[in-house]
C-alpha cells in the first residue's frame, strides 16, 4: 500500500512542477498546461485514428520482438552449446553489436520504404542481438557438474540442452527479454517518427509540426509512456509466473 501512495505522491509532485513551469519560467514557450494536455489526451482516446495507430504500433513491436526472441534464443543456445557455431557467429555479432537501429534506418527505408515491414525489421534488429548475447552467456554459465552428471547417465546431447541447459539459461533469457520489450516499443516509434512508418511515431511527427498542436504532442508522449509502463508490468508478471520455480523468483518464507 505504501508504494502506491508514494507513487501517487510522485505523480502529483510532477504535475505541480509542470504547472509551476507553465506559469513561471516557461510561460513564454509552447509548453502546454497540464489541463490542456489532459484535454488533448481525452480527445485522442476518443479518436479512432489514435487507436488504429496504437494497434499498428503494438503489432509492429510484438511481431519484431517475438521473431527476435525466437531467433535469438535458438541461435544463442546453439552458440553457447557448440563452440564451432559460437565462433562462426562471434565476428558477425561483435560487428553488429555497436550499430544501433537508428543508424541502419536509412538503409531500411531505402530497401523497404516507410512501411510496417521496415518497422518490424528494425525492431527485430534492435532486439535479436541482446537476446542472442544473453542466451549464449547463460548457456556458458550452466553448472558443468549438472552437465557432466547428465552425460554420465547417458542422456542424449539434445535432451541435456533442453532439460538442463535451457532451464538454467532461462533467467538470462528473461533479463534480455525484459530489456528488449521497451526497446521494441522505442524502435517502433522512432521508425514512424523519423522514417515515416505507420503508428504512434507518425502521429507524434505530425503533431510536432505546429506549436498549436503542442498539447496533442505532449498527450501522445504521455500515453506512449503509459503503454510502455503497461508492457513492462505485463512482462514482469509473465516472468514471475513462468519462472516461479527459479531461485531468483522464489519468495523467502520466514
CATH number of the domain to which 149 belongs? 1.10.3720.10
120: in domain = yes
8: in domain = no
- Counting the structural domains of the chain, the total is 1
Neighbours of 209 (CB within 10 A): 9
Nearest to 170 by CA among 225, 119, 241, 116: 241
Q: Rounded to whole angstroms, how far apart are CA atoms 11 and 19? A: 12
114: in domain = yes
106: in domain = yes
SS3 assignment for 112-131: HCCCHHHHHHHHHHHHHHHH
Q: Rounded to whole angstroms, how far apart are CA atoms 132 and 112? A: 25
Range of the domain at 78: 30-242
Q: What is the pLDDT along the chain (254 residues), one digit of tens a residue?
A: 777 787 788 888 888 888 888 888 877 888 888 899 999 999 999 999 999 999 999 999 999 999 999 999 999 999 988 889 888 888 888 888 888 888 898 888 888 888 899 999 999 999 999 999 999 998 888 888 888 888 888 888 888 888 888 888 888 898 889 889 989 999 999 988 888 888 888 889 888 887 778 899 999 999 998 998 888 888 888 877 777 666 666 554 44
14: in domain = no
DSSP H stretches of helix in 24-115: 34-45, 48-81, 83-96, 101-112
200: in domain = yes
Q: Rounded to whole angstroms, how far apart are CA atoms 96 and 130? A: 11
231: in domain = yes
Question: pTM (2 decimals)?
Answer: 0.86
Pair 223, 44: CB distance under 8 Å: yes
Amino acid at each position: 500500500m505504501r508504494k502506491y501512495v508514494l507513487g501517487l505522491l510522485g505523480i502529483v509532485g510532477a504535475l505541480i512542477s509542470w504547472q509551476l513551469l507553465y506559469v513561471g519560467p516557461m510561460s513564454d514557450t509552447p509548453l502546454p498546461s497540464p489541463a490542456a494536455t489532459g484535454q488533448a489526451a481525452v480527445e485522442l482516446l476518443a479518436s479512432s485514428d489514435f487507436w488504429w495507430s496504437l494497434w499498428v504500433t503494438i503489432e509492429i513491436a510484438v511481431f519484431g520482438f517475438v521473431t527476435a526472441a525466437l531467433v535469438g534464443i535458438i541461435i544463442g543456445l546453439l552458440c553457447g552449446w557448440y563452440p564451432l557455431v559460437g565462433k562462426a557467429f562471434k565476428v558477425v555479432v561483435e560487428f553488429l553489436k555497436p550499430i544501433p537501429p537508428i543508424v541502419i534506418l536509412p538503409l531500411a527505408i531505402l530497401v523497404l520504404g516507410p512501411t510496417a515491414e521496415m518497422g518490424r525489421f528494425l525492431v527485430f534488429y534492435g532486439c535479436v542481438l541482446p537476446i542472442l548475447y544473453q542466451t549464449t552467456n547463460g548457456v556458458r554459465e550452466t553448472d558443468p557438474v549438472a552437465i557432466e552428471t547428465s552425460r554420465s547417465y547417458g542422456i542424449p546431447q539434445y535432451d541435456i540442452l533442453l532439460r538442463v541447459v535451457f532451464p538454467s539459461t532461462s533467467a538470462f533469457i528473461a533479463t534480455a527479454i525484459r530489456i528488449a520489450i521497451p526497446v521494441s516499443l522505442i524502435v517502433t516509434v522512432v521508425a514512424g517518427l523519423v522514417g515515416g512508418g505507420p503508428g504512434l511515431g507518425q502521429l507524434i511527427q505530425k503533431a510536432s509540426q505546429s506549436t498549436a498542436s503542442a498539447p496533442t504532442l505532449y498527450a501522445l508522449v504521455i500515453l506512449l509512456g503509459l503503454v510502455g509502463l503497461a508492457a513492462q508490468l505485463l512482462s514482469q508478471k509473465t516472468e514471475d509466473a513462468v519462472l516461479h520455480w527459479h531461485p531468483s523468483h522464489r519468495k523467502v518464507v520466514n
